[in-house]
Structure 1
Amino acid sequence: MDTPLIIVLATVAAFLIITVNYYLIKWRFEVRFRDWQRQEQEYWQSEVSRVSKQAVNQSRAVLGGRFTEQMAPYLPEFRYDPTEARFIGSPIDLVVFPGLAAGDPREIVIMEIKSGQNPQLTPAQKRIRQLIEDGMVRWELIERRCEAEPDPELE
Structure 2
Amino acid sequence: MAFEDILGYVIIALVAGFLLGWLFVKAQITAIEQRYKADLERWKAESAAEIRKDSVNRSRSTLKGKIAEQMAPLLPSFGYLPADARFIGSPVDYIIFDGLTSVADEKGSSIRIVFMDVKHGSATLSRTQRIIKKAVEEKAVEWQTLHLKDDQ
Distance (Å, rounded) in 2 between the aligned partners of 1:112 and 1:3: 94
Alignment of 1:12-91 (within 5 A): 12-91=12-91
Q: 1:9-31, CA deviations, whole angstroms, 9 ceiling, x for partnerless residues?
A: 44444443332222112111110
Instruction: Provide the residue aligned with 2:116 in structure 1.
Output: 111
Report the secondary structure of 1:73's partner residue.
helix
Distance (Å, rounded) in 2 between the aligned partners of 1:122 and 1:2: 88
Instruction: Provide the residue aligned with 2:145 in structure 1.
Output: 141
> Unaligned stretches of 5+ in structure 1?
149-155
Distance (Å, rounded) in 2 between the aligned partners of 1:36 and 1:16: 30
Q: TM-score, normalised by structure 2?
A: 0.80
Report the secondary structure of 1:115's partner residue.
coil
Q: Percent identity?
A: 29
More helix per residue: 1 or 2?
2
Instruction: Provide the residue aligned with 1:95 in structure 2.
Output: 95
> Which has the higher relative contact order, 1 or 2, with Cα contacts under 8 A spaced 6 or more apart?
2
Q: 1:87-117, CA deviations, whole angstroms, 9 ceiling, x for partnerless residues?
A: 011111101112222314521111111112x
> Unaligned stretches of 5+ in structure 2?
none
Distance (Å, rounded) in 1 between the aligned partners of 2:113 and 2:3: 110
Distance (Å, rounded) in 1 between the aligned partners of 2:116 and 2:15: 84
